[in-house]
Structure 1
Amino acid sequence: MTGRYPPVLAGLIVLVLAVATLGIAVGPVSIPPGQVWAILLHRVDPGLAGVNWPPVRDTIVVDVRLPRVLLGGVVGAGLAVCGMALQALVRNPLADPALLGVSSGATVGAVLVVVCGVTALGQYSLSGAAFLGGLVALVAVYSLARSGGRMTTVRLILAGVATAQVLSAVAGFLIVTSDRPEKADAALRWMMGGLGGTGWSTLWLPAAAVALGTVALVGTARSLNLLLAGEEAASAMGLEVHRFRSALFVLCALLTGVIVAVSGSIGFVGLMMPHITRLAVGADHRRALPAAALLGAAFLIVADLAARMVITPEEIPVGIVTAVVGGPVFLWLMYRKGLT
């Protein structure tokens, strides 16, 4: 497996570049992929490519589509690494931020800001509220699932689904009782997940958070590997399981909160990508986490492209696309793990 890892990683990098180019090139105004790269190279250094395109195409590529594609990659990568970390932390192959209620908790926090106009943290109010909501939800689900001192797969799933449903109902209640219809409509569409209206100003915070979070998770890869052997074995190897697990719960909640704040709730990415990654590169988190980030980035870029093109010129929320793909995968995983 070690020998095949470099070519697999190189292939994933090429895949991300290919789908990103496609995501920028395809749209109501089609732009040849070669011209996409020429525009980008010209922006880096005018001497790298001569200008032979209308100025409007430069605006479309750099100011409209590129930020959206980059945000799609960032969100997909963040959800994938969070899903992989959570699956190791709770030793459950069906764990992901959406299934464990983290996304729903983050959504409630964000909806409070959007609908009620809560601005206690200024420009960081949305991200801060989403983080707190996600953290509270994750702690609640873990506590419910661990009732009696032990945690089973079925109990974790039931606790996560129940908590997510309650929190989704709370978010819906906040929306339907809002006295500002325009804010309520925006929050309702945002809840289904989407990357529309992305600009450079909204990209830097999630990009920085996902990059730092991924580096931090890779740094804990050995401890995550120990957890795969069980809590007792990990403790015997010197890992302070409860402290480590608590710290990573906070980190995953923070990443999920930042992601939900910019993209809404997008499900199943964190569930599917870790499994596909393990099939490709194995379960060692030192190799699996970078690969999962690349695979998640590529998947969400493609999903967002599908969301833009299915009923063009209108677009559907990208969360619908990931649910259509992820639902059958989730059922297959339940069947494969003997949980049905």
Structure 2
Amino acid sequence: MLNENMLQQLLQKLPVLRQEIKKVIVGQETVLDEVLVAMLAGGHCLLEGVPGLAKTLLVRTLAQALDLPFRRIQFTPDLMPTDIIGTEVLEEDHATGKRFFKFNKGPLFANIILADEINRTPPKTQSALLEAMQEFEVTYAGQTYPLDRPFFILATQNPIEQSGTYPLPEAQLDRFLLYIRIGYPGEQEETAILAGTTGTGKANIQPVLNATDIIQLQQLVREVAIDPELIGYVSRLVRATRPLTTTIEAVKELVRWGAGPRAGQALILTAKAFALLNGRFAVNMEDIRTMALPVLRHRVLMSFKAEAEGVQPDDVTNILLKNITRTATSIA
């Protein structure tokens, strides 16, 4: 159990972590916060953006600022599950002459995993991540191998290039705590990027948090208070995404399948993490509204009509945020 002094020292490391990452990453405040929220909540995140927006650089910089083993896996069409998990090799005991199989661990056995361009590999290989993401362990040849904690997968994908890609199945998308979209930088930010990356200067990133720190912070997140009224709001919000049970006509027309209970769990947990990241020990309404988009955008399956009209899951979520009340009788 942390005493008050240890607790304050731990929480003071969060803004320091932010500043270390911002030595390299210019702007992208929302993206950075969402990645840190996923880490604090103990989940994984999918980052989507066109090439050149520093998705890989963000993950590498985060890994440098955390005193944890880091591995990068470049997903390609010929990547096999054993290339990720590991494989057994036949070895010989030179003393006895006996042969035996030894499991050689793959790159998945690290604390931070960058799954770069995850949608470039076939579903068979993508599914090799499922057990690791959900159970924090992998099974090979009937033997289960636990993964070190904390375990954090950050996957990237390119939204504009469809040739030679394999869209992630809904079951795997649901395993990602957050679906983070990275947009173009502003004019001043882009100017700063150009100035800072075309010279001889190089940022020196110092490790801020270790494995023990992160595990303690993840436990603290679960201890952040949330009012039962806000839990009820999250429940109504998630249930309103389902066409069969919602009373909102736009959802009935635009959504084919709504979010499941895991979405509500994710929304509460990330709202707690966002509150803690901002130095608070209680969730407020704005925390939930802030995290609703990255939590729901990959858990709401749009109808053919919505796709034809260019309506996105974020549009539906924004409609719900305007219409779902905090209580059954009051206005949100």
TM-score (norm 1): 0.27
| Bigger strand share | 2
Higher relative contact order, structure no. (Cα contacts within 8 Å, ≥ 6 residues apart): 1
Which has the greater radius of gyration?
2
| Bigger helix share | 1
